[in-house]
Amino acid sequence: MRRVLVVLGLVAAFLVVGLLAWRGIAALLVTFAGLLLAVFLRSLAQLVQRLWKLGDLAALAVVCVALLLATGASALLLADPLQTQGAELLDALPEAAADLKDTINGLPLGQRVLARVTSPDGGGVPSAVRVVSVLSGLVSVLGNLLLVLFVGLFLAAEPGLYVRGVVRLLPLAARPRVTEVLGECGEKLQMWLVGRAGLMAVVSVLTWIGLMVLGIPLALALAAIAGLLTFIPNFGPIIAAVPAMLLALTQSPMQAVYVGALYLGIQTIESYTLEPYVMRKADDLPPALAIASQLFLGVTLGAMGLILATPLLVVVYLLVQRLYVEDVLGDRLTHDTDGEAAGSTSVASLGTPSLGARG
């Protein structure tokens, strides 16, 4: 009887923890986004430390000041053209959507398709409700960004403090292995972020050049959108192509085809040439698993789930490989020497023994 009660208690505890985790999944995603920011800041701080031999907090302060100055300089140089082109893009998209509707309406079965996708009541939502919805969404986004910023700064300032707190919840025998694996997770995230940032820059430049050659207006704004959405593998380039093709449609249907071909070409270059080289040590995920995780988190958690699905899967996949497949099942995976070397120094991002010894 006692064993049955223990099992029932464990099942109930598992269900309660699962329910609480599901209800608080948005907070967990914000925390993970803060962790990504912390890894990014620590990566830059390590570079500063190698150059100038500064302490942890001093190097982090230099990085934060440099990022603020770079953001301010970029705002001075690019704010006006981006703001102007962004406003023009927002004004042009409704006209482009209307042109697309007219084009579809002229096709065979076009009216039937539009009748199915168009709301019968014309989407008669009161303007006041729409304004309140937009404002509440904006406040939510700004609040989440502030939380990500603060979580990232605190984690970057003292990563060892939080790693030690997690490790101390485990048995003594498991602590060294978990510390090693957490460090490897930090190194994986670091390499993933660096590689993804490089791809974002390349895609932005290629998109801007291609749109300028094709004579598409608002090329800078569209290139910025394409670069930012490259952070989302697989689905980001598809989303980025939509406003560009709609805008090109206002010139001619053939121009929209050219823009679609441009985005497809850039995506092909990125996926089959640049990404395998840049991300070869940072992202060894099975493609089908990556897409499935993006679909699942995107459908269940919205935009934030889609954005964070891949880096989150990078961590979960590595944890399962190391702590379950290797340690529980005894199936020792073959690591390349570079990966092992990276893992040995990786705890710098999330809290290595050297960081853990501090404070």
Per-residue model confidence as pLDDT tens digits over 277-294: 777 667 678 888 989 999
- The tens digit of pLDDT for each residue in 108-129 reads 666 665 666 555 444 445 566 6
| Residue 308: pLDDT over 80 | yes
pTM here?
A: 0.76
Which domain, by its residues, includes 184?
A: 25-102+143-349
Is residue 123 in some structural domain? Answer: no
| Residue 350: pLDDT over 60 | no
Residues 138, 140, 146, 152: what is their CA dihedral angle, to the nearest 10 degrees?
-120
Q: What's the whole-number mean pLDDT along residues 225-244?
A: 92
Q: What interhelical angle do 219-229 and 56-105 show, nearest 10?
A: 120
Is residue 30 in some structural domain? Answer: yes
Is residue 234 in some structural domain? Answer: yes
The pLDDT score that the predictor gives to residue 164 is 92
| Residue type, position 165, single letter | G
Is residue 233 in some structural domain? Answer: yes
| 3-state secondary structure (DSSP) of residue 45 | helix
| Residue 178: pLDDT over 60 | yes
| Residue type, position 328, single letter | V
Is residue 107 in some structural domain? Answer: no
C-alpha 313/C-alpha 238 separation (Å) is: 21
Of the candidates 281, 283, 276, 307, which has an alpha carbon nearest to the alpha carbon of residue 294?
307
DSSP H helix total and E strand total for the chain: 16, 0
Is residue 52 in some structural domain? Answer: yes
10 by Cβ neighbours in 10 Å (0-12 / 13-18 / 19+) ranks as: exposed
- Give the count of domains, the chain: 1
| Cβ proximity of 39 and 184 under 8 Å | no
Is residue 359 in some structural domain? Answer: no
Is residue 59 in some structural domain? Answer: yes
Q: Which DSSP string do the residues of 156-175 spell out, in sequence order?
A: HH-HHHHHHHHHTTS-GGGH
| Residue type, position 72, single letter | G
| Residue type, position 270, single letter | E
Tell me the percentage of the chain whose pLDDT exceeds 90.
44
pLDDT band at residue 73 under the 50/70/90 scheme: confident
C-alpha 325/C-alpha 332 separation (Å) is: 7
Tell me the percentage of the chain whose pLDDT exceeds 70.
81
